[in-house]
Amino acid sequence: MHNIKAIAFDLFNTLITVEPHGLGEALTRLVSSLKKNGLDLEYEPFKQAHREAAIRFLEETRKDGTETHNRFWISDALKSLGYDVPPDDPRIATAVDSYFSAFLDLCHLIPGTGEMLQALKDRYRLGLLSNFTHAPAAKNIIEHVGLNHSFQVVLISGDLGFRKPHPSVFRQLIDRLGVEKTQILYVGDDPETDITGAGQAGIQPVWTTYVRDNDIPAAPGIRIGSDETPDIEVPRISTWEDLFSLLDSE
């Protein structure tokens, strides 16, 4: 793969993982914030309502690729429990920040990731393209784990307005990296959003299976309709050593 000039990565389950109790802790903080701001909620009913709302909104994003946001899920969940709180209510904004604060404490780099990116930095342009509803939280996480200086290009779906596999986000990645699409590798773990999405955009996908190979719970969100394996034949890696071997291959 000697014609490759740029490599881009997914974030969660590709470069970083979340401790198994991360989602539970995040939801606990969300409910605590709402209760502190005057909403008399019980955890379990809200948890169920929130999950159902998230699934509905995420299913909608699959139809046209438009990004959703947690504030809509929270507002919808509260409405189903008898509370009329619009998505732009400041109590919901505070709750969203509380929710994502959990990930700052519970996200970790996959071993060797920092060293891998440092080694590639002099040879390739590096990019990050992540589906993440709340872009400020994604950027905080990236900084917290020490990756904020690793990439020339950082694209978050919450900023873009669309999410993978929508072709517009991959077009922006190509434009920002400033090389031909055939000169880009995109490394990700999700068969639909990462592998199919990149492939349809004319980028060479690389399927990373570190998380599944090591029985690490996928995080941080709910996957909707993701296949078990890619529907196209692509290189597969399980370690960063595999990636270097792939890059050095003919």
Give the largest Cα separation in the chain, rounded. 62
In this structure, are 31 and 134 located in the same domain?
Answer: no
Average pLDDT, the chain: 94
* CATH at 171: 3.40.50.1000
Residue pLDDT, tens place only, 187-199 = 999 999 999 999 9
> Do 191 and 228 form a contact (C-beta atoms < 8 A)?
yes
Question: What's the whole-number mean pLDDT along residues 33-40?
Answer: 97
In this structure, are 10 and 133 located in the same domain?
Answer: yes
Residue pLDDT, tens place only, 103-145 = 998 999 999 999 999 999 999 999 999 999 999 999 999 999 9
**Single-letter amino acid, residue 195:** I
Question: What's the whole-number mean pLDDT along residues 6-17?
Answer: 97
The answer as to whether 1 is a domain residue is no
What is the extent of the structural domain holding 135?
Answer: 6-18+107-248
Considering its fold, how many domains does the chain have in total?
A: 2
In this structure, are 233 and 116 located in the same domain?
Answer: yes
The answer as to whether 52 is a domain residue is yes
Query: pTM value?
Result: 0.94
In this structure, are 170 and 228 located in the same domain?
Answer: yes
